[in-house]
Amino acid sequence: MTQATPFPAGGFRFLPGGQFSNGVAAEPGFAFRRLRFLAPLPLAQGLAAAARIITAAGRPLTALALCELRSPLPLPRDEFLAFNERYLGALRAAGFSAEKPYPIGRSNLAPILAPPAEVVLYAVTFTVPVAGGGQDFFISGKPESRQGVPWEQGIVGGDDVSEAGLLFKAQYVMEELRARMAEIGADPLRISAAQAYTIHPLAPVLQTVLGAAPMNLGGLTLVPAHPPVTGLAFEVDVRSVSEECIAGPQA
């Protein structure tokens, strides 16, 4: 199991991953605030806006816990890794934490409806002090890919997107999300929202997704989109966030 790593400067802990963390959870005394941009902004512009918003809330830039991105198209694996380096550079340029072991979590997807012309920042989540706290979490987007094996061999179910193939992929994704929640000390009963990214029908996997983590009250948001890497078909993220708000076009 992955060891959750405290990040005291931000008021959260995280699960180390690759170029972004696998998930984040608020420490006692803190909660998460998720801010979605009404009009998503190009990455550098969006991060600059996020820095202003976080600073205006009286929080240090280390409070940034997770970024949600929207991309024009899914990328081949090598190009995706190269993009991640540019993403880290954009974080550093805006003053955010972007050094190993990379505490900030992330989700990313390529929508098929009105895709952006470039990578944009859709939403950010950061910590705010509260009495008590310590119960919020956000698990980064998890697709049907295994870590630690060659990329093509690690895609669970390969290119099978039949109903049976999608079910196999969804079962793996939800098992991994449950494991991550356990590793970071998150309570699945507190899930307030979940997002699934796929261009395929959800009906064959709804019971698997909704039953594997008790999110039936919060529902499941379907985003008709590709996961960010070519060859992948199904991805989910889950969160428990105490406060969610929208930033207008002048953010």
Please give the residue range of the domain that contains residue 112.
5-247
10-residue block means of pLDDT along the chain (251 residues)? 88 95 98 97 97 97 98 96 97 94 96 96 98 95 89 90 93 92 93 92 82 62 94 95 85 62
Rounded distance between C-alpha atoms, residue 91 and residue 74, angstroms: 21
Q: What is the pLDDT of residue 44?
A: 97
State the total domains in the chain: 1
Residue 79: CA count within 13 A, CB half-sphere: 8
Q: What is the pLDDT of residue 220?
A: 83
| Chain center to CA of 211 | 20
Q: Which two tokens stand for residue 74?
A: 């899914």
CATH of residue 65: 3.30.1330.40
Rounded distance between C-alpha atoms, residue 208 and residue 138, angstroms: 20
Rounded distance between C-alpha atoms, residue 11 and residue 23, angstroms: 14
Q: What is the pLDDT of residue 202?
A: 86
Helix axes 43-56, 77-93, angle to 10 degrees: 40
Rounded distance between C-alpha atoms, residue 132 and residue 59, angstroms: 18
